[in-house]
Structure 1
């Protein structure tokens, strides 16, 4: 009998140790010194490529709509202990009684100098003419010799925001948390926030018209390409393998795919605070617009103007086209020229007599004028 009792104790002790080790492994979130060998890729990969789609269609147009307060019941398990190296605390200050409609924040790889230059010469410049604000979000480069180049770039353009986490692909969620942190602390007056990657084409005039009309008055809402019923990639030989120890559930919550999404300014502080209570996941879009937004009880809506492929946009098209995806600097400049010259007489006259999201009837006569731009002008800048 004593021998049997000793055996039971040994078995229980062994089981307890095994469980403890497994829990510790499961809780380990990637940070600067840790590795996800299967996820550590050099090239820019769409976060949703780490996911297997259960369905290629969006079954509903929105998710998560609720008037209940966010769920803050969980203790802090995912802090954001990083500091700003470069900051733009006064970027969103507006003189007089004017309102800041949109701040555009562009997560950009620390070495993507040419992408940022192309954006400044195309839709980034046009967005400033529309009264928007623009900044690029960076982490700290893996190669330290790059940092002086970043500082020189910022001295020239004054549009970089940088935190001191390592700028690698699987740290993209840190950039998203950095984004909502910065909006919370320095840009709380923005009506809307557009997150858009540095390989995207933006129809500035379509975005401007949209926030002035059909999206006007919205609160606690996010828009983009809504992904529903997507599942983690469990193929261990896949480049985008996501092991169970990182994410245990069978299906992701509904989320907005990462290349571009728009949200009302009042979402930022909620997303920032709730992000501390959600386990880290190395998928930016699933983490922020899925897991965090779901817990924060924010509404996420599908918007047909956001597409994740290359598409020649039309500045004044209806329904409005806002973004397309997958451009290197030269092709971005080329497509921008096509977009800005597309509408012939240089003006888009949009008249709307429809109900906005507040239920009030709006009768708005908008005039937006695309800016002339040639490839020659860009090259000589």
Structure 2
């Protein structure tokens, strides 16, 4: 009780000053700042960063892109469901990685429809790089026939040929899946939160239609150009944003270390050019249909940089498309299996063993029954990405 003295008459400044100087108060203030920054700052849960590249689109058409022919073309994969998918997921895999492919088929790769949007998952690969793996060719042909989700091109499957693999997959998508809205390129050790990704892309598409309803005409013209190139009949598409979405890396310089799988030569990227343009991590980036066509048209004018995600970033800058960073796409970071992180917050998670892929799927699906809304408290949702970061730091 204050016995008649008002609160304003109390001298609280010495108390407040001593508290502010106390290490515990400083630590609490720092933690509070980090929480606010994680939620509302530029790198927060739903905040994004993008830069407009200074280099304009090329004035002259690029030389035609020369790609290896397809050994397993699987030309009807996008037509098997009766209509074109909203999201096509291209998983970069190696011929001998059947266990990884089976784990994806038994988990998130089994999803075919999310809220009325069709999803298709395909595996892109080359040929075994050693004659000792001759038996793998027969196994692959059998697997492709049984599963119906493999596209194989005639090149040696190796890390240094990832650019060829990615371009082969993107060219396949443009030709045999012409009405697809979005293509996700990922790897066979990445867990994909398919419902979350579809919801993210659907929201962007609806936002575009609300902001610019006349944009449909522009996209229609691009679709007609793509139709002439692919010689496939297309229907009138809805407005699809020019989107290159991923975990963006900035200010990355080329590695000149001989023998390194990331080595980039002076011919491929001269030193005077400095750092590479911003690019989305190859563990998972999304290209909308208009951006996919732009990249394929310009790819023939640029040397094939053997680091595929950097190559896509270079082409994107050339055609005037800026990558958009999304902190829910984890990039190369590995996160411990957690229901809230995998089911509600993260869109991708890297470094997943086949058994972990299945465990994460069972945890997420088992918590909700349908996988759309895993059990996750409002506090976990609000501080979800911070919680994922803390789990990552604690366990790894």
The bucket for the TM-score relative to the shorter chain is 0.5 to 0.7
1:240 to 1:95, Cα distance in 2 relative to 1, 3 A: closer
Structure 1 residues 133 and 139, CA, compared in 2 at 3 Å: closer, same or farther? Answer: same
Larger radius of gyration: 2
Where is the helix percentage greater, Structure 1 or Structure 2? 2
Query: In 1, are the aligned partners of 2:193 and 2:343 still within 8 Å (CA)?
Result: no
In structure 1, stretches of 5+ residues that fail to align are 1-56, 350-381
Q: Count residues with an aligned counterpart.
A: 290
**Match status 1:252 vs 2:237:** no
Q: What are the Cα deviations for residues 325-348 of structure 1, in whole angstroms up to 9, with x where unaligned?
A: 001211211222222234479652
Aligned pair 1:172/2:162, yes or no? yes
The two structures have a TM-score, normalised by structure 1, of 0.68
Q: For the structure 1 residues 62 and 153, does the alpha-carbon distance in structure 2 shift closer, same or farther, using more than 3 Å as the test?
A: same
The CA distance in 2 between the partners of 1:140 and 1:346, in whole Å, is 35
Partner of residue 153 from structure 1, selected from 143, 151, 166:
143
Q: Using the alignment, how far apart are the partners of 1:239 and 1:316 within structure 2?
A: 31
Unaligned ranges ≥5, structure 2 = 1-42, 209-239, 375-396
Equivalent residues in 2 for 1:89-108, closer than 5 Å? 89-93=75-79, 100-108=85-93
| CA distance in structure 1 between the aligned counterparts of 2:347 and 2:48, rounded to whole angstroms | 20
Paired with 2:275 and 2:372, the residues of 1 have a C-alpha distance of: 46
Tell me if the contact between 1:315 and 1:342 (Cα under 8 Å) persists in the aligned partners: no
- The correspondence of residues 37-186 of structure 1 with structure 2, limited to 5 A, is 61-64=49-52, 70-71=57-58, 73=60, 76=63, 79-93=65-79, 100-127=85-112, 131-144=118-131, 145=134, 146-186=136-176
Cα distance change on mapping 1:63 and 1:188 into 2, 3 Å: farther
Shift of 1:230: 1.1
Equivalents in 1 of 2:293, 2:324: separation in Å? Answer: 19
Aligned pairs for 1:1-381 (under 5 A) are 61-64=49-52, 70-71=57-58, 73=60, 76=63, 79-93=65-79, 100-127=85-112, 131-144=118-131, 145=134, 146-216=136-206, 217=208, 218-236=240-258, 240-248=262-270, 249-288=273-312, 290-307=313-330, 308-311=332-335, 312=337, 314=339, 320-343=345-368, 348=373
Contact 2:343 2:364 in 1 (8 A): no
1:177–1:210 Cα change, 3 Å: same
- Quick one: distance in 2 between partners of 1:111 and 1:264? 30
SS, match of residue 92 in structure 1 = coil
SS at match of 2:276: coil
Tell me the CA shift for residue 239 of structure 1: 6.5
Cα RMSD (Å) of the superposition? 3.2
- Relative to structure 1, the CA distance from residue 152 to residue 294 in structure 2 (aligned partners, 3 Å threshold; closer, same or farther) is same
CA distance in 1, matches of 2:180, 2:370: 32
